Structures are given as structure tokens and as C-alpha cells.
Structure 1
Amino acid sequence: MDTPACATLRTRFDGDIAYLQIHRPQANNTINEQLIREFTAALDVCDTRCKIVVIEGLPEVFCFGADFKELEQSSEGGESRQQDPRPMYALWGRLATGPFVSIAHVRGKANAGGIGFVAACDIVLADAAAVFSLSELLFGLMPACVLPFLIRRIGFAKANYMTLMTQPVTVQQAQEWGLVDAYEENSDNLLRKNLLRLRRLNKTGVARYKRYLHAIDGSIDAAEDAAITANREVFADSQNLQRIARYVRTGQFPWEGDS
């Protein structure tokens, strides 16, 4: 199967199953514009040829959210080039509504925008060491684009709690809340067991089912404009950008004093 060459994404195909691995080990598996472009191009292939799409990360970190170094570099010299959040939102929307079964296979840490990938998927499988967090408010930001997908999966109250507390949630708690469907010590084995069952489905049936689900649940489309506006507002705030730049340079969180 022909797919574009990728620098941030590793792709593997097994018949009509696609494995898309976020692979930015040098950047803690964070999200940058290139990853969004390459992921979107990979889904273009999956739309027509794949019945199942498995999203994976690295063993220690699934995805850690926005690439703060890229954000800091874009605002150097006092001239901030505001990034467009709409392609990222559209990418998660495709995982939620596309004509395939989307599976998030989470090992290690899923934080901030990483939760967007998780919550957008139809099925979430994890290993016993997986943790889930929304850290945005620590920097004066908010998970604006994540929340429509997260609320759709776990409800308003739990999504609000995760946002306000900013602390990691264990895989056990995540399963109780409905963010994770199943977890095992050996998540590779868990994934294999799920794929054995899902292989029995046919792509036409899956595509029709996903279209129907999207038709009766318009929450993702309804929230898009508000999510994009809120995202742009917090990432245009000069104080927030200063907090991000300080964290990139020193590793200190906003509440920590200067050394």
C-alpha cells in the first residue's frame, strides 16, 4: 500500500488493518504541524482501504500534547505566528466519524492533546501503566479542542474534573470513567484479542454504522467553532506564551519560582 513518506509517523499495514504510530521520540511524542499533516495524509489512504485503524505511540509515552518548543520558536522575536487548530480538530473528527474502527492503543503517558487522540477513537485499549492527564490550565491554556471529544466519551462532569485538577488519572480510574474500554498488563495481547473479533466485521457495515452514529450525535460538529475560537484565544495570550517559553528554556512550571 502506497503511503507518503513520514518523518513523525510510522505506518504499517496488515491487510485492511492500519497501524499508525506517533514517532517523535526526540520531542516526547508531542504534536506539531508536520505530524498533523502526515497523520491526515495517512487517513486519506485508510478511508478507502482500511477497516480498522490502530493508533499507537511509544512504550513510555503515547502522546504528550502540543510541541511547546515549536510554539516557543514560532513566537521568538516578539512576532507570534499563530497556529491554526482546525486541522487538528478535523483530524480527531475523522478518527471519531471516519469509515473505519479507530483504536487507541495507549502505553505510558497520554497528556493534553494526546487525550484528543484517545477520546476521538471508537475503542481505547491500554496497558496497566498508562496514565491520562490534561495539564493545560497549569499554563493558563485550556483543552478547548479536546473537550468536545472527551465530553462525548466520559461526560461533562468528569471532563471538567480532569481539566481543573490537571493531575494524572490512572488506567483503573480511566476505565471506571469510560475513557478506557479495557486494559491488561500485556496490552499487545489485549489488542490482538480485540482485532481477532473486529476482523469479522466488513468495511461497508462499519462505514454505514459510523455514518449513522455521526448523524445522531452532532456534538463534534456543533462544538467546532467554539473550540477553535477558544483555542486561538489562549494561544494568542502573550502571558501564556511567556509561560510556555519559560518552561521550554528552564523546565520550570509557571508556579515555580525563579532559581
Structure 2
Amino acid sequence: MVECHMSSHYETIRIRHQGPVTYIQLYRPDADNSINGRMIMECSEALMDCNNHARVIVLEGLPDVFCSGADFKHVSSYDAAGSEALDVAAPLYALWEQLANGPYVTIAHVKGKVNAGGVGFAAACDMVIAEDSAQFSLSEMLFGLFPACVLPFLIRRIGYQRSHYLTLSTQAISGRQAYEWGLVDAVGPDSELLLRKHLPRLTRISRESIVYYKLYMSKLRDDISAAKPEAIRANQTMFADPSNRERISRYAATGLFPWEA
């Protein structure tokens, strides 16, 4: 029997170790599994703890929502200069770089809703396994924003035009359509079964092979690190804009979209 144990000292994530596989569950059920600074910090710390032992990282959410993006209630408390937005953008981008370049195979196991920064989490992973019923969307433009930090990772996966369309349309696409576009690598009605089918071979790959291969792949395409400074600057500018901050604060307080208020 494979040993399985839990780590419980985190507030926004849950960790489970099963042999060479570590499961990281994004866990903020009272906040629609949205992203805040603590979640970013805890995910980054958990990944660093995995550097020397895990071969596979499985990133999961809740049954009905993988990740809904930024916690707008938290964002609405940023100071007017937007300095906290910068503080969140840089470590979030660095976290996604950990998923993309870390010395392990990363799998986003997606069920339910995936929005905004949630798409960034998925796109940063080496593989995405999703249920047919999953819904992927980028809603930022509705609030005067755009997914500056998500796009470098998303374009790497699905290309410029489809990323452009997903950003401008703000409409959700299904897990099946995301598979056809290349955002999802394996899709079906039972994602747990799909995940179990992938793990046996992945866990047989040596850590040395994973490290060397991912280092090689990162050198073939350096677009993520090259885009980082401008992505963070754009994110800071958008969240410092008074009109955008007003839209975000209103939505956080009332749940109404800008055109409904």
C-alpha cells in the first residue's frame, strides 16, 4: 500500500502526499476559491518543499470551482497607488513560473469553474486534465482590466489569437472546447479516472530526467521570463486606475457587474 499523509499547517490550501505524488488543493470555499496573497505564499512554499522529493504535483480545486481568480474583496482594499497589486502580481507570476519550470511534472486537475487567474494556474502547468463540464473564462475586461499576467502562460499553450478572443469575448468555453484549443490535454466525464491513468507512467520517470527535460524546454521558449516585467507593470497600472478600482469595489460590495449598477 502506498503511504499517504496530510499536511495541515496551511490556511488556504490542503496538501496530501502519496509516494512521489503531492496533491495541492486550492481551498478557500468561503471565497469561491479566489486568490489572495496568503494563497500565493502558501502555494509557493508548498512547491519549494516539494523540490527535493516530489516527481508529480497535482493541483486541484473544489468540485464546483477550480479557481475564480483574484479575490475582489481583497483587491478593493488596495491603497490608491496600487502598490499592493504589484505586491500580489509579482509573487503570483513567480508562483506560475514555479509550476511551469519546477523540477517535477505539474498537472492541473480541473473541475467546475475556472476564471481569470484560475486560467493562469492551469496554463502554467505541464498538463491539464479536466472534466467535460469544466468552464474556462477570462472576465477581466468587464472591469476595465485585462489578464496581463495570465496571457504569457496562456499564449504559450493556445496561441495569440485564441488567447485574444478569450480575453475580449469574456465568455466561458467548455472543457471539451478547451481541449480542442490545446488548453486542456485530456478531457472526459470522469477526470479522476483520467488522472489515475496518467500517474503510473509519470511516477516512473526519474527526477533527473524531469529536471533536465524541463530545463531544456525552458531554454527553447523563454517567453514567460521575457514577458514578466511588462506583465507586472501592466497589472499594477490597471489596479491603480481609480475607475477600475471603483468597478471592483462595487462588484465586491454588491455582486453587480458594471453595466448592472
Q: Aligned partner of 2:105: which letter?
A: V
The corresponding residue for 2:118 is: 114
Q: Work out whether 1:49 is the aligned partner of 2:53.
A: yes
Change (3 A) 1:79 1:210: closer
Q: Work out whether 1:103 is the aligned partner of 2:114.
A: no
Shift of 1:47: 1.2
Distance (Å, rounded) in 2 between the aligned partners of 1:52 and 1:188: 15
What is the CA deviation profile of residues 69-126 of structure 1, one whole-angstrom value per residue up to 9, with x for unaligned ones?
A: 1111334xx6865332110000001100111000000000100000000000000000
- TM-score scaled by structure 1? 0.95
Distance (Å, rounded) in 2 between the aligned partners of 1:173 and 1:186: 16
Aligned-pair Cα RMSD in Å: 1.4
Q: Is the 8 A contact 2:81 2:240 kept in 1?
A: no
Q: Work out whether 1:163 is the aligned partner of 2:167.
A: yes
Change (3 A) 1:107 1:2: closer
Q: Is the 8 A contact 1:171 1:180 kept in 2?
A: yes
Counterparts of residues 14-53 of structure 1 (less than 5 Å): 14-53=18-57
The corresponding residue for 1:82 is: 84
Distance (Å, rounded) in 1 between the aligned partners of 2:206 and 2:180: 30
SS at match of 1:125: strand
User: Unpaired segments of 5 or more residues in structure 2?
Assistant: none
Q: Is the 8 A contact 1:3 1:42 kept in 2?
A: no
Shift of 1:60: 0.1
Q: Is the 8 A contact 1:92 1:120 kept in 2?
A: yes
Choose the corresponding residue for 1:223, options 209, 220, 227: 227
Q: Is the 8 A contact 2:83 2:236 kept in 1?
A: no
Q: Work out whether 1:172 is the aligned partner of 2:161.
A: no
Distance (Å, rounded) in 2 between the aligned partners of 1:56 and 1:2: 15
Q: Is the 8 A contact 1:4 1:42 kept in 2?
A: no
SS at match of 1:47: coil
Shift of 1:218: 0.4
The corresponding residue for 2:248 is: 244
Shift of 1:236: 0.5
Structure 1 ranges of 4+ moved more than 2 A: 1-4, 78-83
Distance (Å, rounded) in 2 between the aligned partners of 1:47 and 1:4: 19
Distance (Å, rounded) in 1 between the aligned partners of 2:43 and 2:7: 11
Choose the corresponding residue for 1:126, options 130, 155, 174: 130
Distance (Å, rounded) in 2 between the aligned partners of 1:232 and 1:200: 42
Distance (Å, rounded) in 2 between the aligned partners of 1:28 and 1:195: 28
Choose the corresponding residue for 2:156, options 139, 142, 152: 152
Shift of 1:63: 0.2
What is the CA deviation profile of residues 24-69 of structure 1, one whole-angstrom value per residue up to 9, with x for unaligned ones?
A: 0000000000000000100111111100000000000000000001
